Structure 1
């Protein structure tokens, strides 16, 4: 077989790019870390990291910023995955910051915007110089602006004007003491790419990504799960629906969608027909303003 006989399909090319990025970071940085929440994107990210360094173990620890309002199924999956691969997991707890007064609970109960300070403290305290995230450009306008290697200043802030050109798969990881680089190996993937890769690689996910019956209540046009995040409130009726989650996050602002997609083939068909990204359809924290995500990224958010 010659090189001309090798034909890579779209998923092969995306996988190859992501593996290259992981290995590039391993060669350029001293203390990388992978953000891992147990959601589909971070699970695919971890799967790619395992492939990049196999048969050696993944040489980076994991970091989860835990809002305390995560769905139980996701936390159970997170812990099971960490044990399966024998990885080190750092947990930055929003609840700890609320308990000791460093953060205050929001009136709306949403904790996603409160993740920034614990994240930046964890990066600083552990001296992480490269932070892998599962962000994709198709998710949201602010994420579409970001490079694969995204420099953050000494305060962890994103400065769009300091974005560097990335030509011919050359990535510039130079940074000053105190700065770090966010790295997004899934930048060029779409939600449909992610699901097709999950199908091809037979990647295990939390079962809430597939249709199941659940008690939910409606708020701001979304079906939310009841929990310690102030819901359901007066006038919000609790009903049983067949739903699934397209994305997972803080339970107070991450909605489920009505769906009969109980297996991966049905999910792929559903995503193929959708005209809304998962964040646009199910994330209330992105509806706070037209520039909600960009504002949070400038402060140091994912």
Structure 2
């Protein structure tokens, strides 16, 4: 009986989170002229697409998707991204970091990590397409800088975020006012946790890239993380490739996204694993967030999502 009550409470909580997210999508659609959803093919952006489809069904989603492509992606994720776009009949805009490196607007970093290079292509895509609201899958439980943000977060004409200018959001009232040239970043799943996301994925039977589930992969350990070889780099001196059972908790640039050792091949097993974890997904598997104590906040001030 107690277990049944706990399950009912969990489902009620998911219903409330879903309702809030759908409300945010509809508010933005009614208030802004040119919204766009940032979509990488990862679990959080896939959840955004699922919620957007629900928010406007049976009509199609009324705005496009935007992927800032580092060029260092996992093949499974790009294939999945394209399959989602085709399945729902969505329009996908792609801003490529490689284009900026090729024409000299950006320089390849010495460490070959491209996540910090996403900012300029993102800001240019927003300006070129006149997007005034940009949906993202950021959640407050991921990282301290993201915990500071409101659901609707104003960016100035240069795409910069000022944490001192956060607007109050009381009683589900959101302030999307912005001057010409400014835009608003919108986080419909800001109040979700990683565990909420996985429970909802299970409840809604949402398909994800296969790398979120345990699989065999050749990896090497660097700075306490299991990285895989790719077009970005390979194992260095003193680093040995090992065949291990791993999965990815978050998906990003392959040069800075680590895997975790896991045998979880089902949603039940993943949920049990996440429940027992003491580290957030970014804290456990994203090297770019370890560059400094304020790495994420510094990038957000510059215009990063």
TM-score normalised by length of structure 1: 0.97
Structure 2 CA distance, aligned partners of 1:277 and 1:203?
A: 22
Structure 1 CA distance, aligned partners of 2:231 and 2:137?
A: 27
Equivalent residues in 2 for 1:49-128 (5 A)? Answer: 49-128=52-131
Residue 228 of structure 1 deviates from its aligned partner by: 1.2
Equivalent residues in 2 for 1:104-253 (5 A)? Answer: 104-253=107-256
After superposition, the C-alpha distances for 1:180-224 in whole angstroms (9 at most, x for unaligned) are 000000000000000000000000000100000001111111111
After superposition, the C-alpha distances for 1:148-197 in whole angstroms (9 at most, x for unaligned) are 00000000000111110000000000000000000000000000000000
**2:25 matched to which residue of 1?**
22
Unaligned runs of 5+ in 1: 1-6
Structure 1 CA distance, aligned partners of 2:268 and 2:192?
A: 19
CA RMSD of aligned residues (A): 0.8
**1:263 matched to which residue of 2?**
266
Structure 2 CA distance, aligned partners of 1:126 and 1:105?
A: 26
After TM superposition, the runs of 4+ consecutive aligned structure 1 residues lying more than 2 A away are none
Residue 278 of structure 2: SS of its match in structure 1?
coil
Q: Across the two proteins, how many residue pairs are aligned to each other? A: 296
**1:278 matched to which residue of 2?**
281
TM-score normalised by length of structure 2: 0.96
Unaligned runs of 5+ in 2: 1-8
Structure 1 CA distance, aligned partners of 2:164 and 2:17?
A: 27
Residue 234 of structure 1 deviates from its aligned partner by: 2.4
After superposition, the C-alpha distances for 1:104-147 in whole angstroms (9 at most, x for unaligned) are 00000100000000000000000000000000000000000000
**1:11 matched to which residue of 2?**
14
Residue 241 of structure 1: SS of its match in structure 2?
strand
Residue 235 of structure 1 deviates from its aligned partner by: 2.1
